[in-house]
Copies of this chain bind each other. A is one copy, B any other.
Amino acid sequence: MTDPRFSTKQRILGAAEDLFARRGFAGASLRQVTSAAKVNLAAVNYHFGSKDRLIEEVFRRRLDELNAGRLAALKRALANPRPELEDVLAAFINPALELCLDKEGGAAFVRVLARAYAEHNERLRKFLSDNYGHVLKEFAAAFAKLLPHLDKEELYWRLDIVAGAVTYAMADFGVIKRRSGQSEREFRERAAEHLIRFAAAGLRE
A interface with B by C-beta (< 8 Å) = 22-27, 111, 114-115, 117-120, 154, 156-158, 160-161, 163-165, 167-169, 171, 173-176, 190-191, 194-195, 197-199, 201-205
For the complex formed by this chain, how many copies does it contain in all? 2
- A172 nearest CB neighbor, chain B only: B120
Q: Which of B25, B154, B174 has a CB less than 8 Å from the CB of A160? A: B174
A115-B118, A201-B205 are contacts. A194–B163 as well, Cβ < 8 Å? no
A176-B156, A191-B157, A202-B198 are contacts. A164–B163 as well, Cβ < 8 Å? no
Residues on the B chain within 8 Å of A27, using CB: 24-27
A168-B168, A205-B198 are contacts. A119–B24 as well, Cβ < 8 Å? yes
- A21 nearest CB neighbor, chain B only: B120
Provide the bound-state CA to CA distance between A198 and B119, in Å.
26
Provide the bound-state CA to CA distance between A117 and B170, in Å.
13
Residues on the B chain within 8 Å of A190, using CB: 157
A26-B27, A198-B205 are contacts. A161–B169 as well, Cβ < 8 Å? yes
